[in-house]
Amino acid sequence: MCCCPATARIPWRPALSFSSSPFVIFLHFLYKIMAVHGPLVKIHPVVLASIVDSYERRNEGASRVIGTLLGTADKHSVEVTNCFSVPHNESEDEVAVDMEFAKNMYELHKKVSPSEVIIGWYATGYDITEHSVLIHEYYSREAPNPIHMTVDTALQSNKMNIRAYVSSQMGVPGKTVGVMFTPLTIKYIYYDTERIGVDLLQRTRASPSRTNGLTTDLAQVASAAGRVQEMLSTMLSYIEDVLSGKVMADNSVGRYLMDLVNKVPKITAEDFESMLNSNINDLLMVTYLANLTQAQIALNEKLVVL
């Protein structure tokens, strides 16, 4: 029988951390209310990393990169799990996309993961140009209702704006018909292991040479404990603010805190001691056996060589 420490589960961030300027908040809000129609777009981080990497490797003179998005789609959402870039040429008045290449790559990718289908395409850059409309038409032949994703790698607004759109017809039927791109909500989802991988990658931001080695075991436990400690101190400062009256008390947050405190199991000291000791004994015994085995095979090695 084992006991769990009180791991901090914070499903809701306190309102203090939303510290951006009011204009940006307004833009976020606007983006949110506009994105009501159309499916929810769930993106895995590997897709974005791929896009950034292909942007970095683009040909001389190309200002943007386009490619295909692969993934799965169901009724209310679209999950983007893979992508590959497609060579294309763009000039003032014409655009040429290597469709053979796109088809070939899709076939190759299908061999590895047969469940992924083309669900749209991406382009780097901030705006949607007329060429995008043409390319979008091509992709509508490949997939029903394709998604168009833009990643602003030129960092126009000091951020990498990642947006997704779906196209819909607009205008007067019969006369001027156009295409409108409606924005969609984006959510980043991770597999558990992906989350762990991304956490490791985040650490490269700290070092000046942008590198990071893989840490040893106890160091990992120490850093995880450090993270929990950070979260606990955030909570504590929030609680102190509420107590001193600086921030309005919020009942739902209070309830979560109650849950948290109640999660620490109440065990008598002797029971806990015995549980702890039995676990420690198990682990020590296993360590001893492992060392014994290693000594045994080393000995065997030496005897054979004799």
Partner 1 sequence: MGSLKESAVSGSNPLDSPVKQIQIDGLVVLKIIKHYQEEGQGSEVVQGVLLGLVVEDRLEITNCFPFPQHTEDDVDFDEVQYQMEMMRSLRHVNIDHLHVGWYQSTYYGSFVSRALLDSQFSYQHAIEESVVLIYDPIKTAQGSLCLKAYRLTPKLMEICKEKDFSPEALKKACIGYEHMLEEVPIVIKNSHLINVLLLDLQEKSTVADKHELLNLSSSNHLEKSLQLLMDRVDGMSQEIVKYNTYCRNLTKQQQQKQQYLQRRQQENTQRQSRGEPPLPEEDINKMFKPPQAPPRMDTLLIAGQVNNYCQNIKAFTSQNLGKLFMAEALQGHSS
With residue 154 as reference, give the H or E element that holds it.
Answer: none
Position of tokens 């159309």? 38
74 binds partner 1 (CB under 8 A): no
The letter for the amino acid at 89 is N
Determine the size of the site formed for partner 1 (CB under 8 A): 101
Tell me: does residue 3 bind partner 1 (CB under 8 A): yes
Per rule CB under 8 A, is residue 232 in the interface with partner 1? no
> CB 246: neighbour CB atoms within 10 A?
10
Is 254 a binder of partner 1 (CB under 8 A)?
Answer: no
Closest CA to 262 of 1, 12, 6: 6
Query: Of 2 and 172, which CB lies nearer to partner 1 in the complex structure?
Result: 2
Tokens 């769990």 sit at which residue? Answer: 4
What is the distance between the alpha carbons of residues 274 and 132, in angstroms, rounded to a whole number? 67
Query: Per-residue x/- marks for partner 1, 162-181, CB under 8 A?
Result: x-------------------
Selection from 96, 77, 74 nearest residue 86 by Cα: 96
| Interactions with partner 1, residue window 14-43 (CB under 8 A) | none
Taking the least distance from each CB to partner 1, the nearer of 125 and 167 is 125
CB of 43 to partner 1, least distance (A): 10
Question: Smallest Cα–Cα separation from 163: which of 111, 125, 217, 131?
Answer: 125
Q: Residue 77, interface with partner 1 (CB under 8 A)?
A: no
* Contact window for partner 1 (CB under 8 A) among 31-39, 130-138, 141-149, 292-300: 292-300
Q: Is residue 281 near partner 1 by the rule CB under 8 A?
A: no
Binding status of residue 9 toward partner 1 by CB under 8 A: yes
H or E element that contains 229: helix 217-243
Least distance CB 193 / partner 1 (angstroms): 5
CA triple 134-138-143, angle to 5 deg: 135
- Binding range to partner 1, per CB under 8 A, among 57-65, 138-146, 177-185, 242-250: 57-65
Regarding beta strands 162-171 and 177-184, do their DSSP bridges make them parallel or antiparallel, or are they unpaired? antiparallel
Which one of 142, 197, 247, 256 is in contact with partner 1 (CB under 8 A)?
197
The dihedral of CA 244, 249, 253, 257: what is its sign? Answer: positive
- Nearer CB in complex with partner 1: 29/191: 191
Is 177 or 222 the residue whose CB approaches partner 1 more closely? 222
110, 119 Cβ separation under 8 angstroms: no
Is 233 near partner 1 (CB under 8 A)? no
